Amino acid sequence: MTAAARNIGTALASLPGHWQPHRLASVNDYDVKVVTLLGEFVWHSHPDTDELFLVLSGSLTIQLRDGDVVLGPQDLFVVPRGVEHCPRADEEVAALLFEPKGTVNTGDVGGDRTAELRELPD
């Protein structure tokens, strides 16, 4: 298998909507995902894994039960495993996520916002 370079901007431009992560690449047992965010997500946690957010553009608030973390472009934050959180984007945010393969976007709560991981077109 030959490795292919991917452009993050092109990948983001191809996304069909918000809160729909797409796999940009895989690194060992982890997925690197791109996603656009707008509005408030759902409160959830990931009992078995940390979750890395890297904001590429916009301003993302990671709501935590003990206080908010506000991220701007090029800011990175890791939500520790088991910590309940709720991402909120008051304006459109482009972000990169780094999670173990099989991580569900809504973690332990499921519901209408659960999205199947999609592949980006080549």
pLDDT digits (tens, 9 = 90+) for 5-54: 899 999 999 999 999 999 999 999 999 999 999 999 999 999 999 999 99
Q: Is residue 3 part of a domain?
A: no
Cα–Cα dist 16/62, whole Å: 23
Q: Is 78 helix (H, G, I), strand (E, B) or coil?
A: strand
pLDDT digits (tens, 9 = 90+) for 99-110: 999 887 777 877
Domain holding 74: CATH number? 2.60.120.10
Cα–Cα dist 48/107, whole Å: 9
Domain that holds residue 82: 24-102
Q: Is residue 10 part of a domain?
A: no
Q: Is residue 74 part of a domain?
A: yes
**In the chain, how many domains are there?**
1
Pair 8, 32: CB distance under 8 Å = no
